[in-house]
Amino acid sequence: MTAQAGRGPRLTLHTLPSLLAVALFALMFGAGSLAYDGFFSGQVFLNLFIDNAFLIVVALGLSFVILGGGIDLSVGAVVALATMVLAALVETLQWPPAAAVAAILAGGLVFGTLQGVLVEVFEVPPFIATLAGMFLARGLCYLISIDSIAIRHPQLEAFSQARLPLGPLGEVTPSVAVAAAVLAGAVWLAHGTTFGRTVYAIGGSERSARMMGLPVRATRIGMYALCSGCAALGGLLFGTYTLSGYGLHGMGLELDAIAAVVIGGALLSGGVGTVAGCVSGVLTLGAIQTLIAFDGSLSSWWTRIAIGVLLGLFCVLQRVMEWWHQRQAP
C-alpha cells in the first residue's frame, strides 16, 4: 500500500481483519459471560487492560515496524532488560525512580536506533539484526544478575498498588492510563504525520517510497528506535506490575506482540493495517487467558494452542483477501 493508507481506517478489505478481531473479542467475551458466573462484569473487562497494559505498549511500538515491512524479535528481551536495569538502579544504586525511568527510556531509544542502523545502513536483514539484539539484551540481563531482584522502592510500590476509579465499571491501574496515552500518541503519529505516512509507504513499496523522495532511511531507523523505546516503556510497566526485575521476564513476549499485531489486522509484509488494531489483538489474547482461567480444568498451554490457531487463521484470511483484491483489480 502507499502512504494514502495511513490517512485512517476505512471499511475496506484491508481493515476487515481489524473489525473481525473486535467482533471475535466481543464474541469470546459474550460466550464467557454466558458460560461462567461473574465473568460479565466491568472489572473483569478492565482487568484485561490491567494485566496487559505493558503488552499493549510493546505491540503499539512493534506495529510501526511491521507496518513498515520489518520485524523486531528483540522486544521481549528489551522488556526483561528494562526490568533488570530498573531494579538495579533503584534498589542497588539508589537512583531516584524518575532518573531511572528517563535513563531506561533513553537507553531503549538508543538500542533501537542501533538496530535500525544495522538494518538500513549496513543492510542486515531485520530478522538477523533484531535476533542479535535479542541475544544481546538477554545477555545483558545476566550481567546485572542471574537472580530476580525485588523492587521495594516506596514510590514504585505506590504506583503499582494505586487504582484509578472509573465509576460503576470498576477501577484501573496507572499503567492503563500510560497505555492509553501511548495509544493516543501512536494513532496520531501513524495517521496524522509525515512519519506515519512514510511508514505505510515503505511497507507498501520501498522502491516507490524512495522514488517519491520520502525520507526512507531516517524513517526506518526511527521505526526501530520507536519500537525499542516502547519495549523499554513496556518493561517499566511490567517491572512495576511484578515489582521485580528478572532476566527471564518477557520470554516469548515478542511472539505474543507479533500475534497481537497480526490478529489486529496488520500484514506481516507491511503497508496494511492500523496501529490501534493491535489493541483488539491484545484483548483477544487476554480474553483467551481469562476464559481458560475461569474454566479451571484446562492447562495453560491451551492458551498457546488457541493463539497459534488464531494467528494461522488470520494470516490465511489476509492472504485470501489479498488474492481476491488482486483478482478484482483492473
pLDDT tens, residue by residue, 116-158: 999 999 999 999 999 999 999 999 999 999 999 999 999 999 9
Residue 210 C-alpha cell reads as 524512495
Residue 150 C-alpha cell reads as 525485588
Query: Are 65 and 71 contacting, i.e. CB atoms less than 8 angstroms apart?
Result: yes
Alpha helices in 162-276 (DSSP H): 174-192, 194-204, 206-211, 216-242, 253-263
Residue 75: which residues within 8 A CB-CB, separation 6 or more?
Answer: 58, 61, 62, 227, 228, 230, 231, 234, 250, 253, 254, 257
**pLDDT by residue (tens digit) across 223-233?**
999 999 999 99
Q: Which pLDDT does position 330 carry in this prediction? A: 56
User: Residue 51: exposed, middle, or buried by beta-carbon count in 10 A (0-12, 13-18, 19+)?
Assistant: middle
Using pLDDT thresholds of 50, 70 and 90, give the confidence band for residue 314: confident
What is the rounded CA–CA span in Å between residue 271 and residue 206?
10
Query: Helix, strand, coil proportions of the chain in percent (round to 5)?
Result: 75, 0, 25
Q: Which pLDDT does position 328 carry in this prediction? A: 60
Query: Are 208 and 2 contacting, i.e. CB atoms less than 8 angstroms apart?
Result: yes
Q: Which pLDDT does position 274 carry in this prediction? A: 87
Backbone CA torsion sign across 51, 54, 58, 60? positive
**pLDDT by residue (tens digit) across 10-61?**
556 556 777 888 888 899 899 899 988 888 899 999 999 999 999 999 999 9
Maximum alpha-carbon separation in the chain: 65
Q: Which pLDDT does position 8 carry in this prediction? A: 44
Using pLDDT thresholds of 50, 70 and 90, give the confidence band for residue 306: confident
The domain limits of the chain are 3-325
What is the rounded CA–CA span in Å between residue 237 and residue 53?
7
CATH code 1.20.120 for 3-325: no
E strands, the chain, in order: 149-150, 164-165, 171-172, 244-245
Rg, Å, the chain Cα set: 20
Q: Above 50 in pLDDT, residue 2?
A: no
Helix axes 253-263, 277-295, angle to 10 degrees: 120
What is the rounded CA–CA span in Å between residue 270 and residue 254?
17
pTM for the model: 0.92
Which residue from 209, 217, 249, 208 is spatially nearest to 232, judged by alpha carbons?
A: 249
Backbone CA torsion sign across 80, 82, 86, 88? positive
What is the rounded CA–CA span in Å between residue 63 and residue 69?
10
